[in-house]
Structure 1
């Protein structure tokens, strides 16, 4: 019998938390992710599926929505759904069952890493990392952006709380870039 130990994207047994000045950078490891892409001719059904899952209108371009089960727009008729892993470990399978062939659903939990930045002056941090206009973020924005040459998603929960979702294979580089920008800004 193998004794496997889960590790975070940064390679530790617990999520890493760094603080500098007014900003805290937190590695988030307790979320399940699944992508949903409408199949040709089933766009309306896929849109309705996402809306029913999150209990709100399916997010449009550059938006996110929902509470416990949240979705953000990835492209035309494509969304990423996000939920607590403790209660939604089988998120992709649940969505597939409800989709009934109207959408292609893929488990994305192990493919991405997430870092949450919280505190004051986040726009000062992000202007050192990306050309996304985070200074205009008010809450609810979900924007694809390059962060240090990595394709990432910026999710604005509020001007004081922004999540960065990036490729898990680049977690160390992304963490370093975020922490360097925080130190530079504050």
Structure 2
């Protein structure tokens, strides 16, 4: 019988934690992720079902925290929904049941790597990596941007806290870019 072992996006048994100066980069393996898109002409039905299920559907360029679900806007009538992996490993199935046929739901957990960045001020790092005016972006801002030729989602959790979602297949490249910029910033 095969003995399978789960590995992180970086190929390790445990999530990576890197500290450079005041910056702490933490690989997040404890998050489940799914995309939710309203079906044509069904946005009102989706909004009703999401409210009942406790799934936030924030406005454009916004992230909304909640329990157990958090979400951020990705496109018109489309969101990424996050939840704790331990209780929502099958997040897509849970959301399909809760939202019914008003939404198209796809599993995204293993397609993305998530990194949380924490420092007293992340502006020196992020201004070198992307075109987001991080210093003036409000808490809860969410956007798609490019870092080192990689399409990523950036979610501003606070002035000193950001969550980045990047392609899982490029996890090492994204971490390398974060480390290199951190060294030059501090």
Taking structure 1 as the reference length, what is the TM-score of the superposition?
Answer: 0.95
Q: Which residue of 1 aligns with 2:62?
A: 63
What are the within-5 Å matches in structure 2 for residues 75-154 of structure 1?
A: 75-154=75-154
Is the 1:50–1:71 Cα contact (8 Å) retained in structure 2? no
Aligned pair in 2 of structure 1 residues 70, 183: CA closer, same or farther (>3 Å)? same
**Distance change >3 Å, CA 52–CA 66, structure 1 → 2:** farther
DSSP 3-state at the match of 2:8:
coil
Equivalent in the alignment of 2:180: 180
| d(CA) in 2 for partners of 1:46, 1:94 | 15
Runs of 5+ in structure 1 lacking a partner? none
Distance 1:163 1:180 in 2: 18
TM-score by length of 2: 0.95
Partner in structure 1 of residue 155 of structure 2: 155
Could you say what secondary structure the match of 2:128 adopts? coil
Deviating above 4 A after TM superposition, structure 1's stretches of 4 or more consecutive aligned residues are none
Contact 2:53 2:99 in 1 (8 A): no
Unaligned runs of 5+ in 2: none
Q: CA deviation at 1:55?
A: 5.7
